[in-house]
Amino acid sequence: MGNSISFFVISGDKTDDIYEGYRHLTGVAHLLPKTAYGYIQSKCIYPTQKQLMEVASGYRDRKLPLDILVVDFLNFRIEGNMDLDRRRWPHPAAMNRELGRMGIRTMISVWPHVATDSRYYQMLKGKGWFIQKADGSPDQSWWGNDFGPDIDPTNPEAAEWFWSVIRDNYIHKYGFSYIWLDETEPDIDPEHDFYSIGGGNRYFNVYPLFETGAVYNGFRRDFGDSRRVLILARAAYLGAQRHGTVFWSSDIMDTWDMLRRSVTAGLNFTASGMPCWCTDIGGYARRPIHAYYRPERKPLVSPNGAADEVGAYSDYPELYVRWFQWGVFQPVMRSHGERRYNEVWSYGREATPILEKYLRFRYQLLPYTYSLAYRTYRTGAPYMRALWMDFPHDPNIANISDEYMFGPAFLVAPVTVQGATSREVYLPSGCDWYNFWTNERLHGGQTIKVNAPIEIIPIFVRAGSIVPLGSAILNTSQPQKVASLRVYPGADADFDLYADDGETYQYETGKCTITHLHWDEKSRKLNQTATARALLDETVVDVIQAASDR
């Protein structure tokens, strides 16, 4: 008899039933540390400790929210030494302590390559812990000796060693909180290579599952329930969502076309069962811009004050603003790219106040977003949702890939055309919708033209929604009150407002607070469960009055 093949059929009456089945089959998407749902500031690269601290001070001096700073790759002297270049990072432990006092955590990039002249190479080669070619030698990959071959995480001993050096060198010794596992593909063609579990032609794409699993499993074993795992990874595989992972859009170009295509890519990815996704806000790789370049339309954001940053790419501040606005409505909001500067004040005098507005808006939405993340943990269903997930009976949504639902309330329609000050938005049938910015109430089942000046991303709220909004904070470790509960009438509404300590896994044993909110359309009253009765006593309930109907 040949190899047997097993088939699993997941069925259900609703889209989310399918994701619940996928969750049971492949694993839960754990809650990330609450810091991950704030804002992550990154750049390729912050080369020194001094520069990283200046960025942190820049956010705090401006009283802007920030939770995580990223130390990208090339932070070492030799790839695979699993250590920092101490000439550029002289006091990393003290740096992380100071950042912690500022309410900022750090994430460090760790690659699975080991250069041939690194301190671990001979030991790893001798034990056979690299991905190997048919002749048993390590596959050096296209990087060559300077970066070397990839560790084989399918070998349990190699996986344990990989985690142990990350733990000892970066977490215990220096105090980094989170790990960026870049190059999780890996960057070789494994078809003719061999893992410890077998040939790459059979186990072609499993690398990210095993590599993220090495870190997650070791982290949970060694730190118990006291600290949540956060791993940023570029590649994914079935089940990798259970490893405290966020996946991102890879090394995309900084163009308008890429912004447009990234919306669709994000919806496709989250629909695949991997709910935690983000993009490199602004794009990663720099587009070559010649001195004679002219945008198609007059830029909506002047590059004045950002000449050193954008050069001849005069419409780039506009692009960055539009990308940043969209980033507010992604599961994780993270900016990154090959730019000289990449902070919210880096893109000129006109862009800065808009970017600051949306950065604060991200934190205002935290009670809503964090509750969505818990819902995903419980159900497996994503909260960045293609329209077909929620409106399967509306035939008009079948080919719409440039707008989507962010949780049960928000319809998000990013602007992805340079110079555009309006766009068409289809409002799915079966309910009414409120323009978030104007409170105009509109009927579903129609396409409308929406005003979208540069300071506005079109967003709509479904009638029959409850949206909790939080008080202003600078980071997620600060107490945040629910400042208001916005009720969008038109139908009965329910929302489970979730809260926990934001740091540990104690939510897995029920140590959390869930306040069920219910809007009764007939009586026009908002009620809640008795678990946190003081919420409605202390919170402004804002029942939206429609500006008009059409």
> Under DSSP, is residue 350 helix (H, G, I), strand (E, B) or coil?
coil
| DSSP string for 215-242 | HHHHHHHHHTTSS---EEES---TTGGG
- Residue that has been written with the tokens 């969209």 in this structure: 326
432 is catalytic: no
**Is 280 in a helix, a strand, or coil?**
coil
Is 70:39 a contact under the CB 8 Å cutoff? Answer: no
Nearest to 420 by CA among 266, 296, 280: 296
Rounded Cα gap, residues 548 and 482, in angstroms? 28
Is 146 among the catalytic positions? no
- State how far the alpha carbon of 384 is from the alpha carbons of 245, 263, 388, 413, in Å: 16, 10, 12, 12
Helices 366-379 and 15-26, axial angle in degrees (round to 10): 70
Any catalytic annotation for residue 67?
no
Mapping DSSP onto H, E and C, the string for 413-441 reads CCCCCCCCCEEEEEECCCCEEEECCCCCE
Residue in 17, 20, 225, 251 annotated catalytic: 251
Q: Are strands 441-443 and 432-435 parallel, antiparallel or unpaired?
A: antiparallel
Q: How do 441-443 and 410-412 pair as beta strands? A: unpaired
Say which residues have a Cβ less than 8 Å from residue 238's Cβ, sequence separation at least 6. 26, 209, 273
Among residues 67, 79, 152, 182, which one is catalytic?
A: 182
Angle 506-507-511 from CA coordinates, rounded to 5°: 80
Of the candidates 16, 79, 185, 254, the residue annotated as catalytic is 185
Record the tokens describing residue 128, joined without a space. Answer: 């056979």
What does the angle CA 544 – CA 548 – CA 550 come to, to the nearest 5 degrees? Answer: 120
CA dihedral for 501, 502, 504, 507, sign (positive or negative): positive
Among all residues, which ones are annotated catalytic?
182, 185, 251
